[in-house]
Amino acid sequence: MTALLWKHDEAATATGGQSTAPWTADGVSIDSRTLEENDLFIAIVGPNFDGHDFVDKAFASGANAAMVSHVLGEAKETRPLLLVEDTQKGLDNLAKAARNRASARITAITGSVGKTSTKEALRLVLEPQGPTAASMGNLNNQWGVPLSLSRMPRDSAFGVFELGMNHPGEIAPLSELARPHVAVITSVEPVHSEFFTSVAHIAEAKAEIFHGMSGGAAILPRENPFFPVLAETAREQGITHIIGFGAHPEADARLVECDFQPLFSHITAEVSGITVSYRLDIPGRHWAINSLAVLAAVDALHGGVKTAAETLSTLKAIEGRGCHYCLSTPSGDFYLFDESYNASPASMRAAISVLSRTPPKGAGRRIAVLGDMLELGEHSAPMHACLARDLERAKINLVFTAGKEMEHLRNALPVEMCGGHAANAAALAPMVKAALKPGDVITVKGSYSSRMRDVVAALKDMDTATPQVVDGK
């Protein structure tokens, strides 16, 4: 049985609103399409939609109540409503109340790359150690963070929340809502460059995660050139417990040894003097390094580091973020890395590195299928073109590209490496399918809006059996 999350009187007190009738809710939703029975539906007014237009649909889908600023559709006397002046402020206030009533130890995670995967890994290892609430998917913006907080059960022992941004000033208010005990910054890289004048300014924006903290711990990438700046900013916020993670010899959560295999890694690490060894069934140095941030967070939360390391062996990649499939066709098998959810220069290089370490079968080849990296502003052309050097060094056999920005990469590649180019992912997919041979290893990657998932879907449709996720065992 799902635990009761909100009652009408508690929610009214939290938001300063007025309930038209008694109600209870087991969950909170801002999307009538994904709403579950017994949810409280919040009619958010966004740039493209007004949630008030979907209140009737929400009730038809099983909502127990709706938070609204005005009434549309059915008369208010016939529906359990929570009337507030502004539904965004109402959501924020509900989040604050959920945070205040919970005794959970809160971790907030941000970073240029790796924040969602790190959040999921931390959730995984904390759940055996106590009830854990966490952001679903990448709910990390001005709607997603308060929504995630408002869903936190009052008996949670831990809370893990992702904070995202693409403009300065966006993380600070999210941190002030979450008020984390532990802050994790996975990396600082040139992403969202369209909205920042330098990577240093990106570092400043990521450091806004400390704004909602009063003491606690900051877990920072020790090898990143902005580590000193991040650490100093944390200290200025009153955070004295600074934990560096990575392979750096001065890291507090340090990579001691790592055996990188094509489909998994064997890792030995030292975390605050505790030595742990574990297997990670997701390949890549970036995964190994981020696992250290996870263990450091567990230690800062006073959890069991050794237990967490053991649990990491059950971690699986998220769809679009490193899932590896073995696909069977009448002509033979090939292998697919699905990295289609997002892309930045740093994550592109990481994906290329993983592909380079994965041996094809027989006469197979290493093939990269790449879509545009977005929000790079005036730096976009050189950042795309520079990938050519990484691909050549990694001995990638063929490169297929999609999108206007990827034309810069295509033009920088040796002719023999160019598999094909198309204006978009949908047009590129048939070209990739036609070129495949048995034993090929393919990585598909691009920013979300480049829709490289269309290529992934087309390749998976070639499978004559159910695609098998490969876990390296």
**pLDDT (0 to 100) of residue 316:** 87
Helices 285-300, 345-356: crossing angle, 10 deg rounding: 120
Residue 96 in domain: no
- Give me the pLDDT at residue 131, please: 97
Residues 69 and 191 in one domain: no
> Are 306 and 451 members of one domain?
no
Same-domain check for residues 336 and 220: no
Please give the Cα distance from 267 to 282 (Å, whole number).
Answer: 12
Please indicate, yes or no, whether residues 276 and 333 belong to a single structural domain of this protein: no
> For residue 375, what pLDDT is reported?
85
The stretches in the chain having pLDDT less than 70 are 1-2, 72-77, 193, 465-473
- What is residue 74's predicted lDDT score, i.e. its pLDDT? 59
Q: Answer yes or no: do 298 and 241 share one domain.
A: yes
pLDDT value, residue 102? 92
State the pLDDT at residue 464. 79
* Type of residue found at 333: D
164 and 289 within one domain: yes
Which CATH number characterizes residue 403's domain?
Answer: 3.90.190.20
Question: What's phi and psi for 50, nearest 5 deg?
Answer: -115, 115
- pLDDT tens-digit profile of 46-91? 888 999 999 999 999 999 999 999 886 555 557 899 999 999 999 9
Last residue of a domain, one of 259, 283, 312: 312
Task: Output the DSSP codes for 433-463.
Answer: HHH--TT-EEEEE--GGGTTHHHHHHHHHT-
Residue 123 sits in the same domain as residue 252: yes
pLDDT of residue 402: 97
Residue 54 pLDDT = 94
276 plus 399 within the same structural domain? no
Full residue range of the structural domain in which residue 418 is found: 323-464
Model pLDDT, residue 263: 80
pLDDT of 379: 87
Verify that 173 and 72 share a domain, yes or no: no
The structural domain count of the chain equals 3
Strand partners, 28: 40
367 vs 334: CA distance, rounded Å: 11
